């Protein structure tokens, strides 16, 4: 008797909680979609603005749809208007960035793999201190090295050049690449290495035959992290290069700030998308690895 009473009131309660639950679900989706629109809004505005003419921009609002697929401002942003002086466009700077990113990512990743390998598989006395010594490099505010770096690049004769930027990005990437590889190799069983050593395999043979073949995931994480950081860098680019050697972010900023005649927002937005597209593509294609790098190398910001 008592049992049945209990169960019926329980059913009522369950019924009620079903409605609250449904309401909660709707609320949940509402909030999630609200935030999604906040995050997507600037990208949407950038894309539609880049497809409008300046006339359309003045007539319509931020959100209004472009009248057609008008790629003129993309052409201007990428290749210029075709007259001489003062015609800045992104193509040469895009290539500067490529020429800077590829070697810098390669060297910093390679060095990081080597140091990570030594720090975990060829341990020596005080290696933890060496790791800490390198790790600290992740955290320094770069303002504290800007002045001596500018002078050093001058002395070496590579200020205002892509080579100089490759050096800078390689050096300041090492702490991060070391961190990535060290944390990855720590979980590789040392017995494998020991067995190989007993078989007479040397330092490099062990690295190339045992460690490297299983390193694909961490190489992807490191390459994506370094690529994103270096491609998006502005501080080093704007401090150590100007004019023709500038990387794309610096060129984008100069283009947007140049106050010649009328502001062309459509060209600005097309330029911004061009400067952002390589990292966006990487993010969409390899988001998983991007997030992994972000959460383990996040200290940089």
Partner 1 sequence: MFKWLEKNLPKIVMAPAVGLIGWFVYGFVLWTLYISFTNSKILPKYELWGVGQYVKLWGSRKWLIAVDNLLIFTALFLIFCVVIGIILAIFLDQKIRAEGILRTIYLYPMALSFIVTGTAWKWILNPTLGIQKMFRDWGFENFTFDWLVDREMAIYTIVIAGVWQSAGFVMALFLAGLRSVEDEIVKAAKIDGASLFTVYWKILLPMMRPVFFTSFVILVHISIKSYDLIVALTQGGPGISTTMPALYMTQTAFHKSQVGLSAASAMMMFMAVAAVIIPYLYSELRRENAR
Segment 67 to 106, residues that bind partner 1, using CB under 8 A? none
Q: CB of 239: closest distance to partner 1 in angstroms?
A: 7
Sites for partner 1 among residues 40-59 (CB under 8 A)? 40-43, 45-46, 49, 57-58
Q: Interface with partner 1 includes 270 (CB under 8 A)? A: no
Sites for partner 1 among residues 194-233 (CB under 8 A)? 202-203, 228, 231-233
Closest to partner 1 by CB, 218 vs 272, is 272
Furthest C-alpha separation in the chain: 95
* Nearest CA-CA partner of 111 in 176, 197, 183, 206: 176
* Nearest CA-CA partner of 258 in 96, 86, 123: 86
Query: What single DSSP character describes residue 262?
Result: S
Instruction: Enter the tokens of residue 70.
Output: 């008008």
Q: Interface with partner 1 includes 39 (CB under 8 A)? A: yes
Closest to partner 1 by CB, 86 vs 287, is 287
Region of 68-76, 190-198, 210-218, 247-255 interacting with partner 1 (CB under 8 A): 247-255
Place of tokens 């990428």: 78
Closest to partner 1 by CB, 11 vs 59, is 59
Q: Interface with partner 1 includes 284 (CB under 8 A)? A: yes
Count of helix runs (H) and strand runs (E) in the chain: 14, 0
With CB under 8 A, what is the number of residues at the site for partner 1?
Answer: 89
Q: Interface with partner 1 includes 110 (CB under 8 A)? A: no
Region of 3-11, 70-78, 115-123, 215-223 interacting with partner 1 (CB under 8 A): 115-123
Sites for partner 1 among residues 1-30 (CB under 8 A)? 28-29
Closest to partner 1 by CB, 85 vs 132, is 132
Q: Where are the alpha helices (DSSP H) in 51-161?
A: 54-59, 72-79, 91-121, 127-135, 143-156
Spatial separation of the C-alpha atoms in residues 25 and 35, rounded to whole Å: 16
Q: Which residues contact 177 (CB under 8 A, 6 or more apart)?
A: 108, 109, 111, 112, 113, 115, 116, 222, 226
* Nearest CA-CA partner of 134 in 299, 290, 301: 299
Binding residue for partner 1 (CB under 8 A) from 22, 32, 102, 156?
32
Sites for partner 1 among residues 119-178 (CB under 8 A)? 119, 122, 124, 130, 132-137, 139-149, 151, 171-172, 174-175, 178
Binding residue for partner 1 (CB under 8 A) from 63, 85, 198, 262?
63
With b meaning 16 or more CB within 10 Å and e meaning fewer, what string describes 231-266? Answer: bbbeebbebbbeeebbbbbbbbbebbeeeeeeebbb
């Amino acid at each position: 008797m008592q049992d049945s009473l209990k169960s019926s009131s329980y059913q009522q309660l369950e019924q009620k909680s079903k409605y609250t639950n449904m309401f909660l679900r709707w609320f949940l989706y509402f909030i999630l979609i609200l935030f999604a629109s906040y995050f997507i809004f600037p990208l949407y505005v950038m894309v539609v603005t880049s497809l409008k003419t300046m006339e359309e921009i003045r007539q319509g609002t931020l959100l209004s749809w472009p009248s057609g697929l008008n790629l003129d401002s993309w052409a201007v942003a990428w290749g210029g208007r075709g007259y001489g002086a003062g015609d800045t466009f992104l193509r040469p700077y895009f290539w500067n960035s490529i020429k800077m990113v590829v070697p810098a990512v390669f060297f910093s990743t390679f060095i990081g793999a080597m140091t990570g390998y030594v720090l975990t598989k060829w341990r020596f006395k005080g290696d933890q201190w060496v790791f800490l010594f390198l790790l600290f490099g992740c955290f320094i505010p770069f303002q504290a090295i800007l002045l001596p770096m500018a002078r050093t690049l001058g002395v070496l004769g590579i200020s205002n050049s892509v080579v100089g930027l490759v050096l800078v990005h390689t050096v300041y990437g090492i702490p991060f690449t070391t961190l990535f590889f060290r944390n990855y190799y720590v979980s590789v069983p040392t017995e494998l290495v020991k067995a190989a050593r007993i078989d007479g395999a040397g330092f490099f043979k062990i690295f190339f035959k045992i460690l490297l073949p299983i390193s694909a995931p961490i190489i992807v994480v490191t390459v994506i992290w370094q690529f994103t950081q270096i491609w998006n860098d502005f501080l080093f680019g704007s401090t150590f290069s100007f004019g023709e050697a500038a990387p794309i972010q610096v060129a984008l900023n100069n283009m947007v700030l140049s106050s010649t005649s009328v502001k062309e927002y459509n060209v600005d937005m097309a330029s911004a998308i061009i400067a952002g597209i390589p990292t966006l593509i990487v993010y969409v294609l390899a988001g998983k690895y991007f997030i992994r790098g972000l959460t383990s190398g996040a200290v940089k910001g």
